[in-house]
Amino acid sequence: MSSTSSVKATSVLDAAQIEQFARDGYVVLPGFLDEALVSRLKREVDRWVDDGLRDRSIASAVDPEANGLPPVMELEMPAHADLIAYPPLMGVLTDVLGPSFVFHHLHSDRQAPTLPGKPWHHDYEQRPQRDRTYAMVHALHYLDGLDPETSSLVVLPGSHHRVAAKDANAHLGTESIDGEQVLDDLPPGSTVLAHSAVFHARRARPEGIGKDRYFVDASYCQTGTRWPPVKPYWRHMLSRGRELGIGGQQWPHLFDEEHFEEFRR
Ligand SMILES: O=C(O)CCC(=O)C(=O)O
């Protein structure tokens, strides 16, 4: 088995946080990203949205025959590349995944105040859903944090232990579920590290929300199995990650292809 790290990453989570992640399927890291990285990321997110690059990347994912490869991918923007291999994040990932994991994908957006909520779902990639032997995680980065002017993130602790379809709770929309935890007050640069199988929703404020919400999510998978990719241009994405040397010498295997199946709709 290949290892993504040739040097042991520094542990970041304490024992209680590692236990919480195993039990509940998420851990909240307030103010995790440093300020300079956050401001560089926000400038890149603005460019990504305002220059139509996000729309182009979606078009390339939806209809690759008509639209070809995206002209720019998120990981080709320097701050996003730095975020993917942000050393404290690599430490957190090593704490919960062990030393051998690969990058899966990243999405970046500036969500308008009018964006509706997103119904309960999980994001664990497996077809069909059959077990939780290997972990996949999503690092949900809230560049301006979460506050009364933004939608909240709602999670259902422990739900990653149950094998279920991604949309098994979608009929509930974004309604409250017994035992849910609402995350609606986080400082800038906060990250929620979630097991991808934990059910979660984005809940809009009933009274309406007032400002753009800068949101980047990046996912990573334990090695040892083959994961379904989510973008048809996944080989190109991984190959650019390798060419750009994201992760440097400490993470030479972060963009290895061998851990993925062929793309299927
Ligand atoms: O917007 C959020 O806070 C969560 C988004 C989400 O659920 C997702 O991208 O899967």
**79 belongs to a structural domain:** yes
**7 belongs to a structural domain:** no
Kindly tell me the burial class for residue 256, based on how many C-beta atoms sit within 10 Å of its own C-beta (0-12, 13-18, 19 or more). middle
**Residues of the chain where predicted confidence (pLDDT) is lower than 70:** 1-8, 208-209
Q: Which of 202, 214, 216 to mutate for ligand 1's pocket (most ligand atoms within 8 Å of CB)?
A: 202
**262 belongs to a structural domain:** no
pTM passes above 0.85: yes
Count: domains in the chain: 1
Structure tokens at 217: 């999510």
Domain around 32 = 15-243
pLDDT in tens, 210-255: 899 999 999 999 999 999 999 999 999 999 999 999 999 999 999 9
Report the pLDDT value the prediction gives residue 3, as an integer from 0 to 100.
45
- SS3 annotation, 209-246: CCCCEEEEEEEEEECCCCECCCCCCHHHHHHHHHHCCC
**5 belongs to a structural domain:** no
Domain harbouring 39, CATH code? 2.60.120.620
Q: Which of 54, 215, 216, 230 to mutate for ligand 1's pocket (most ligand atoms within 8 Å of CB)?
A: 215
**265 belongs to a structural domain:** no
**120 belongs to a structural domain:** yes
**187 belongs to a structural domain:** yes
